[in-house]
Amino acid sequence: MTADPTTTSETTPPAAPRPARKPRVQRMLKVVRTEQLTPHMVRVVLGGEQFGDIEFKADTDQYIKLLFADPALELSRPYDMETLREQLAPELMPVTRTYTIRHIDWENRQIWVDFVIHGDQGIAGPWAAHAQPGDVISFFGPGSGYSPRPEADFHLIAGDESALPAISAALEGLGEQARGAVVLEVRDSSEEVPLSVPPGVELTWLHRGEFTPESAALAEYLQALEIPAGDVQVFIHGEREQMKLIRRLLVEQRGLPRKGMSLSAYWAYGRVEDQFQAEKRTPLGRIDPEA
């Protein structure tokens, strides 16, 4: 006998309600000053009354999602995102760009955010290049997801310019007894920044010139790098196709466990930021192949 569909709702218990998502809080800070660190990297120092309201994390890799809107719309910060969704077409909504907090200056109640600048390309880079004291920026976060584990036998830390702020913060979180290797790929020696590493950690700079798939050197260097057995903690970030190559190298060839490995793409060659973000939801944009 076929069950009467009209009785299904009476015999099937209702699904448990999903827990309510914690609403994202938008904070605002002002530009205090800027500093040209290298020819293509600018530091923006942010401070203000809401510094004390920010819920900082314990991890070294803390990131914030900066909000940018079309200046022609003359929107006021903080942006009322719910109201704007009702009023604006999707393509006119403020967009987010994710950046690492390079340093928290507790004494002066400020944060440092370092930006890679490529002329007028993108949104966040040009904003940082032209930021003036008193300019206001709003953001969500911070979020976090990585800190060096003191019990790890070896730390493998690597990336290109886009990962340099996060790697710099990670190095400051390493204990003096840490062992590991840090590999940084940049255009040339003018893009290097001073870094302090423990005695047991080897620092290598790779100079590749202008980035192209052919000039990228990070994956090739890691192919030949000796990685000792034991508990290896991995933190590697950079260009998407390079990260795919490195994932295959470390997981499939070297046999390192993917779980617990912080490895992801910060950008993709030949893609503007909006394309890169949209592709994250597609097979092309995934670092790991589908199961």
Distance CA(84)–CA(88), nearest Å, equals: 6
Token pair, residue 170, equals 């990670």
Which range among 4-13, 68-77, 132-141 shows the weakest confidence by mean pLDDT? 4-13
Q: Is the pTM of this model over 0.85?
A: yes
Domain range 154-281, CATH class: alpha beta
CATH code of 26-143, in short, is 2.40.30.10
Per-residue pLDDT reduced to its tens digit, 131-189: 999 999 999 999 998 999 999 999 999 999 999 999 999 999 999 999 999 999 999 99
**CA 279 to each of CA 216, 271, 272: distance values in angstroms, whole numbers, following the listed order:** 21, 10, 11
Per-residue pLDDT reduced to its tens digit, 193-236: 999 999 999 999 999 999 999 999 999 999 999 999 999 999 99
Give the model's pLDDT for residue 7.
37
CATH 3.40.50.80, the chain: domain bounds: 154-281
Contact 98, 92 (CB under 8 A): no
CATH 2.40.30.10, the chain: domain bounds: 26-143
Give the model's pLDDT for residue 5.
38
